[in-house]
A and B are shown apart, each in its own frame.
Chain A
Amino acid sequence: MEKRIIAGALVLGIVAVFFLFSVLLIHPFGDPGQAQMDDYIITHTQNETGTQNGVTSVVFDYRGFDTLGEATILFSAVTGVLLIFRRVRH
């Protein structure tokens, strides 16, 4: 029991140190490194996609392939649930 507590504390300490370093290395809030893509989308979204909602234009048009992945995740989740609970069906 003592060994388990010591090992847990050790792992927790290592993880805490890693998180601390990643917090220290994060770049300042509100100061993106590369803003060219943001500026392009904000400037051209109304002409190119013809919509007034920039977020939807990114989700379904500029990054549509990403949304296809999200839909695939949902599809596989439904498939898995129906597979696990298939004994319920009559």
Chain B
Amino acid sequence: MTKIVKTTANILFPFTMIFGLYVIAHGHLTPGGGFQGGAIVVSGCALLLVAYGSSWVFDRIKDKRLAAFESLGAIGFITIAFLGLMFSAVFFGNFLAGSGSLFGTTPATGSTLADFNTGGVLPLMNFAVGVKVIAGLFVIVLVMAYASSTKEWG
């Protein structure tokens, strides 16, 4: 693409990354979560794909590694669910909530100020789903863009 598009993408890309990672990290406090923040991050990656071309990105990021990260996020998500089965006797049980340890603070009932150290397993699940959605959607966009750009797929 032209220099204007590349410069705009260079400026916008880090802000999109930061905003998407913020939405994932604060999924248990603000609107959004793993799915939504992951989609925001992947929209920044798609911006890079538009500005620099799919073969440029494809040379630098291996789709096999992205697929591995996607599986890693799924394994983390299901592992947390089975840990709930192990520690609180319910599948998807929230065994960290109210325990006083990591993310274990219980907020006061009613409208209170946001405390990051709350939510039990919800922030961990948001993180796992975020990794999964980033890698999964990015590998879909990347492979489809690369396939539609090469000659033998015309």
Contacts and interface: CB of A to CB of B under 8 A. Distances in A.
B136 to A, nearest CB: 5
A82 interface: yes
A77 B140 contact: yes
Nearest to B71: A75
Interface stretch (B2-10, B12-20, B43-51, B119-127): B119-127
Contacts of B140: 77-78, 81
Nearest to A52: B107
Interface residues of A, number: 30
B97 to A, nearest CB: 4
Interface in A46-90: 46-53, 55-57, 59-61, 64-65, 67-68, 70-71, 74-75, 77-78, 81-82, 85, 87-89
Contacts of B115: 52
Contact of B98 (A50, A57, A65, A88): A50
Interface of B: 27-31, 33, 35, 63, 67, 70-71, 74, 77-78, 81, 91-92, 94, 97-98, 103-110, 112, 114-115, 118-122, 125-126, 129, 132-133, 136-137, 139-140, 143-144, 146-147, 150, 153
